[in-house]
Structure 1
Amino acid sequence: MVTTGQLSPATRTDLPAFGYETEDVTTGALGDLASEPGWRRPVLLDADLLILVSSGHGSAELDFRALPCRPGTLLRARPGQALRCRGPQLDATVVSWGTDALRGLDVDPDAVPAYRQLAGEDEDAVISEVTQLTVDADRHAGVPAAAALLRHQLAVLLLRLALLPGTQRPAPRTDTETFQRMRREVEHGYRHTRRVEDYAARIGCSVRTLTRACLAATGRSAKQVIDERVALQACRLLAATDEPIAGIGRELGFPEPTNFGRFFSREIGVSPGAFRAAREQPLPVRLVRPRPPADSAARPGSA
């Protein structure tokens, strides 16, 4: 369930390897995600996750934002995000699924809130469904016919979470649709270009339209949205891997280390080396962090 991202083979051995098929739905414990005891540093996820805290108190650091955790806390994490969980006896059930697990099912996993503190009947219902999914995944492990059961149980769970009060999305506006298209293009292309003109050409709109859409959706310009995505990826790789800083810079489109250092310092407020040195410190730390993508992490208490 964890990976080091697009890194060198030598670096890939730093974190544990998990066998995973694209259609699998699996369950496990929170500790299974850690690369080492104590979550000394974050890990990069390579599967979609739901994390339901069952005991203990602490925090989850999801893309460098600290989210308070206690029984009933629900986290929705995505592939590529950096995750670290800390707290006395903090434990949780983890439901993970591959890219094809929901194929053909009318469910949008992105409609699930990234952070939610469940309570009352909603908490009881979600706990019941997660528990049943866990029991069935264990009872029918290795049974091909059970795959459909687990896929549909996951779909029901995601639909229930998407229907929690306050989580329904408003009808999209044209600017919002343009921003979502840009966000998808940036996700595929941020390693290769940071030019707004390139993304406007791919989408088939003007730079002005793209900038207006980004301002309407996030309050930030198109250039800021692109640069923040690159900075976020740099933070993930610096915190969760041992890849050389210069190698991370090259991967993100900076052939010269000095250019990467200037970019990172401008976006984050500290040098890449200082950010890496602080990765073992629990949040909050005295660093300026990039804003996550629009759907990657809600603030504590948000619906």
Structure 2
Amino acid sequence: MKHLNIPHFGLYGESSWINDPEFFHIEDIESRSGDLGWKINPHRHAQLFQILILKAGEVNVQLDAEQYRLRGAWAIIVPAGVVHGFRFAPETDGRVISIAEPLLEDVYKEKSAKFIQPLLSQACYIDFNAHRTVFSELWPLIQQLERESAIIREGRALMSEYLIKAILLLLHRQQANDAVTNTNKTELSQAQQLKELIEKHYREHWTSHQYAEKLNTSISRLNRLSKTAFNQSTLELIHDRVLLEAKRSLIYTARSVEEISYDLGFKDPGYFSRFFKRSTGVPPGKFRALSNQPAI
């Protein structure tokens, strides 16, 4: 059977990758979705990080296997690789910013890294409905970025880069204001490193010991850190990442259960099926059948 892979796009509907490490793009939500019935089907971007800024209106959001309905003022963070789809209410007002990951790499080496890097690690929603004053600071930056994108003038790329960082910093502030955490800065940095290592090695089925060894810490300390930062043990984080990719493949591709199990590093498809059922309560085939319903 021919594989039906999850669509990868540069920008939605444009299959070719824009090979520009300084690439960014900003557009009105209506400009791409309006002619498509205000609907963007599930897809993902291999090398693009996206921010959706919703000023007014309503959207049903699909991120991997989860769905949400948002109204009013929101920011939606979509890291590269996350499957996402949208159905907007007609006349929804907002902007979509697409940023090439290489453009953000320098951020990791700057003073801004401790603020921006955690924001880029996982999909999330940031609520501005009760914080209109903060949103009134954010929106002019969005409008200025639009103007820089539209007009060719001296220093445009540099100005755009500064504006993108300012937008990300404001988003981080709002996210931090809504978050309650007891982790200190060192622990937060290590927690982020753990998530990044799991992202790189989950198909290899690294053990908790291997992650602890890589981070130069003990398994017990790593588990305490993981529990504090993510409310999960290290092993639960590892299993959740494998499970997430399994769900993505079952929902969005036509691969067989056996193919998916081998792709995820399982040598025995039977063991994969038992792992999946233990985690979700249903075997992979039944999960696929239950999920085989119209996307938002």
**Which bin holds the TM-score, normalised by the shorter protein?**
0.7 to 0.9
Matched letter for residue 68 of structure 1:
R
CA gap of 1:14–1:215, structure 2 versus 1, over 3 A, is: closer
Inter-CA distance 245–28: structure 2 relative to 1 (3 Å threshold) = farther
**What displacement does 1:241 show?**
3.2
Give the number of the structure with larger relative contact order, counting CA–CA contacts within 8 Å between residues 6 or more apart: 1
Aligned identity (percent) is: 21
Matches within 5 A, 1:54-203: 54-89=55-90, 90=92, 92-102=94-104, 103=106, 106-107=111-112, 108-110=115-117, 112=119, 114-119=124-129, 120-140=132-152, 145-164=155-174, 166-167=177-178, 172=184, 175-203=187-215
Unaligned stretches of 5+ residues in structure 2: none
Q: What SS class does the counterpart of residue 23 from structure 1 fall into?
A: coil
Q: Greater share of helix residues, 1 or 2? A: 2
How big is the shift at 1:273?
2.7
- For 1:43-58, what aligned pairs fall within 5 Å after superposition? 43-46=43-46, 47-58=48-59
Following the alignment from structure 1 to structure 2, what is the Cα–Cα distance between the partners of residues 166 and 229? 27
Cα displacement string for residues 202-251 of structure 1 (whole angstroms, at most 9, x for unaligned residues)? 22233222223222333322211110111112222333333443322212
Residues 171, 23 of structure 1: alpha-carbon distance in 2 compared, 3 angstrom cutoff: farther
Letter in 1 for 2:162: H
Distance, in Å, in 2 between the alignment partners of 1:262 and 1:91 is 45
What is the match of residue 5 of structure 2?
11
SS of aligned partner of 1:101: helix
Residue 226 of structure 1 corresponds to 238
- The residue type equivalent to 1:19 in the other structure is W
SS in 2 for 1:93: strand
**What is the identity, as a one-letter code, of the residue corresponding to 2:45?**
L
Deviation (angstroms), 1:136? 2.0
Q: Deviations over 1:107-160 (max 9, x none)?
A: 3434549312224222222222212212321333xx795222211111111122
CA apart distance, 1:174: 5.5
Contact 2:266 2:272 in 1 (8 A): yes
Cα drift, residue 190 of structure 1: 0.4
How many residue pairs were aligned? 273
Partner Cα distance (1:10, 1:86) in 2: 22
After TM superposition, the structure 1 stretch with the greater mean CA deviation from structure 2, 65-74 or 152-161, is: 65-74
8 Å Cα contact 2:59/2:86 also seen in 1: yes
Q: Judge which range, 104-113 or 88-97, deviates more.
A: 104-113
| 1:22-61 matched pairs, under 5 angstroms | 22-30=21-29, 32=32, 42-46=42-46, 47-61=48-62
TM-score (structure 2 length as normaliser): 0.77
Which position in structure 2 is the counterpart of 1:288? Answer: none
Q: If the length of structure 1 is used for normalisation, what is the TM-score?
A: 0.75
Q: Secondary structure at the match of 1:11?
A: coil
Cα displacement string for residues 67-111 of structure 1 (whole angstroms, at most 9, x for unaligned residues): 332232211111121212224325631101112223255434345
Tell me, yes or no, if the aligned pair for 1:42 and 1:239 is still in contact at 8 Å.
no
One-letter identity of the residue aligned with 2:231 = G
- Consecutive unaligned residues of structure 1, counting only runs of 5 or more, are 1-7, 284-303
Partner residue of 1:286?
Answer: none
Quick check: 126-135 or 99-108, which moved more?
99-108
Q: Post-superposition shift, 1:198?
A: 2.0
- 1:5-41 superposed Cα distances (whole Å, 9 cap, x missing partner): xxx997377864242333212113547589x877585
Q: 1:166 to 1:12 in 2, by over 3 A?
A: closer
